[in-house]
Every structure is written in C-alpha cells, then in structure tokens.
Homo-oligomer: A and B are copies of this chain.
C-alpha cells in the first residue's frame, strides 16, 4: 500500500528531478515541512494521473507523517515505503522566498460554487432524523441523498445554517467574516431578516456591495417552497469584527476562526458574547483538528496559502467558549470537506485556461497541491469541519438542532 517511485499504481510518484529525494527525506524526518510542496511546485515530481489525493492518502496515513522535528528512520520508512530510495542523492531544495500570491476574485469565481462559499459545503440533503418509530429504517440509518454539485451543496449548507439559527422574521443577524456576502444575501432573501456582514477584505467588501436585494442576480439564492414577505435586508461593512459594538439576535461566522489565531480565540468569543442578545444564538463553522498529532500550523500551507492561518484543537475551542457560552450542538461535517475540495479542484482544472494569462504554472501546481493535499487530509479525517451552536445561558425551551 506504499507509494512507489516511478510506479504505475494510483498515487505513485513520477520523478522528474532528483532533487525530490532530499525533499522527501526532509519532509518525513520532520526536518523541513516546506520543501516537498515547493519541489512539487517546481515540477520535480508528478503523481500518476495527477492523482495527488491518492498520494497523500497513502503518505499521510500514519501519524509519523505529522511529527515535528527529527524522527527515527524506521518511523520514516514505516510511514512511507519507498522501493527506490537513494539516500546519497539527497540535495538541498529550493527555499526561494516566494512572493505571496495576489489572488483576485476571478480565481474564486471560477473555482467556487455560484454563491462563492469558500468553506465546507453540506452534501447530505433530505435528511430525516427522528427517534419516532414511524420513520425508523431497519438499519437505524438516516435517510438522505447526496447533492450532485458543489453549487447545490453550498445552497444546502446555507439552508442548514439558517435552520440551525432558528430564524424569525425581523431578526438582526451579524455575519463575522462575511466573504463575498452570499450567506448574508441568502438569509435576507429567504428569511426576512436583517443581516450585517463584516469583512476586512477590501476586495470581498467591494464585491459584496455590487448587488442589492432587488437584483435579478440574486434570484438563484431563493429557496423553493419558502414564502418570504420581502422585508429582509443586508448591509456590508469594511470593518474589523473587534470594532463591532451592537446587539444582534443571531451571530454567524463561517470559515473565520481559522484566520483568528489561537492567541485571539478568547477575544473572538468575547466580542461575539458582547454583541449577542441574552437569548441569542451563535453558529460557528470552522475547520478543526481531528488528531492530537496533527500540527496546528503546517509550514508549507502557512507560507504559500494561508499565512497566519491555523485550525483550532477541540479543547482550545471549548476552553475559549466555556464560561461565556453553553454548547447547544456540535456537528462534525468533516466528511463533507473532501467532496467540496474535490469539486473545487475540478472547477479549477477545468477553468485553468481562463486563468492561465494571470497565473503562472508554478501557481497552478501550488494551488493543485493545496487543494488535493487538503482533500486527502479531510478524507483521512486528520482534519474535521465543525458547526457549533452556542447560547449564553441555554436556549429557552431547549435547543433542537438540524442535520
């Protein structure tokens, strides 16, 4: 089940340049967690059929692949069995300082779904969950079907969030880290609520402000079967969430905690607490680390993809919320992120010709590496994705969630 150099099985590495040998050694001995990705970016190796997911699913199965610092060679071999391996041929990998990518909206428009949700989608739909006997299946399994496209999965995800928030017409919602604004628009369009989205990204803010509620462009966000009275509103602010000083019925924050940094978890939840009415609800969606041996910051990704980004460990999450909030519901939807990333990569590869003028081939390889390594990490359940619902002192009447 190991990875074979120049082999013909899924995930087998195809050597283009011998510099890869040194990078592999450094990666799996923990000496250098950046060089392997860089050597891929530089074209020193490929994977048969471009199946990087299969490569990572084999290479990252063992916890040894996540160890920091030097480890025993036996551990290395345990984690990554190489049929052809030349210790003498190792060489220094390039460590050029890569000028940080300047990602435009066009990349995300061509990669993400139509509603530009840059976070885990929710692929299970029509889930029927009830302990009542009437709907019991012999297997005890939920009945559900799987969304066919990432567009559908993200609409489904936004609907799940709306249901979990127990929205009532007229409520005021704060969306912290609102991205390109579609969740705010979705909630306002379908649930007659007033949503304030805050972001510190000028590019996202400008994009979010280009459409208003009457725009024909937002028709696709309408959920069939709902009959909103059209009183919903949304607004966007180019503002640090720490400067928000208001009171909201609901606060939602999707894919934001990953950018907050562990030093600021306390602050993040204090600000949310301060801006939430006493009988309010909070929904946080975030990547979470699933295994204690997985590091919070992966150097390659930190250098090239998300500088300063880190997913929380579950105990960090709980520690930062306890005393401020009660956990009403914790939903692990990590399995959905593999599918989401898979779809994003399909879109990215398909639309590459439209991007090739702006981005070079090294960027393409970097982005592919990022998407497919991430897909493998979620498929292997090294990373999770959580939706956690919080209340201040317990939701009146008891909180019932949705799936």
Contact = CB atoms under 8 A, between A and B. Distances in A.
A328 B387 CA distance: 11
A70 interface: no
Interface in A159-208: 159-160, 162-163, 165-169, 191
Contact of A140 (B129, B130, B165, B333): B165
A393 B62 CA distance: 12
Nearest to A124: B400
A335 interface: yes
A132 B224 CA distance: 10
B225 A333 contact: no
The dominant DSSP class at the A interface is loop
A328 to B, nearest CB: 5
A178 B402 CA distance: 30
Scoring A132, A138, A313, A326 by chain B CB atoms within 10 A of each residue's CB, the highest score goes to A132
Given A140-B162, A332-B328, A398-B336, A133 B314 contact: no
Nearest to A313: B322
A220 to B, nearest CB: 14
B156 A402 contact: no
A49 B160 CA distance: 45
A329 B332 contact: yes
Nearest to A334: B394
Chain A interface bracket (under 10, 10 to 19, 20 to 34, 35 or more): 35 or more
A319 interface: yes
Given A163-B131, A398-B335, A403-B403, A139 B126 contact: no
A166 B144 contact: no
In the assembly, how many copies of this chain are there?
2
Contacts of A167: 139-140
Contact of A160 (B131, B166, B328, B395): B131
B129 A381 contact: no
A161 to B, nearest CB: 9
B326 A315 contact: no
Interface string A126-153: 1111111110101111101000000000
A129 B136 CA distance: 14
Nearest to A141: B166
B136 A225 contact: yes
Given A124-B398, A133-B224, A138-B227, A329 B331 contact: yes
A259 interface: no
Interface of A: 122, 124-134, 136, 138-142, 144, 156, 159-160, 162-163, 165-169, 191, 223-227, 290-293, 313-315, 318-319, 322-323, 326-336, 381, 384, 393-395, 397-403
List the 3 closest pairs (A to B, CB-CB), nearest first: A335-B398, A381-B394, A330-B330
Given A126-B132, A127-B132, A129-B130, 9 more contacts: A127-B131, A130-B402, A140-B165, A141-B166, A144-B400, A290-B394, A314-B322, A326-B334, A335-B398
10 contacts: A126-B130, A127-B130, A130-B402, A131-B403, A138-B169, A313-B322, A314-B318, A334-B398, A381-B393, A400-B403
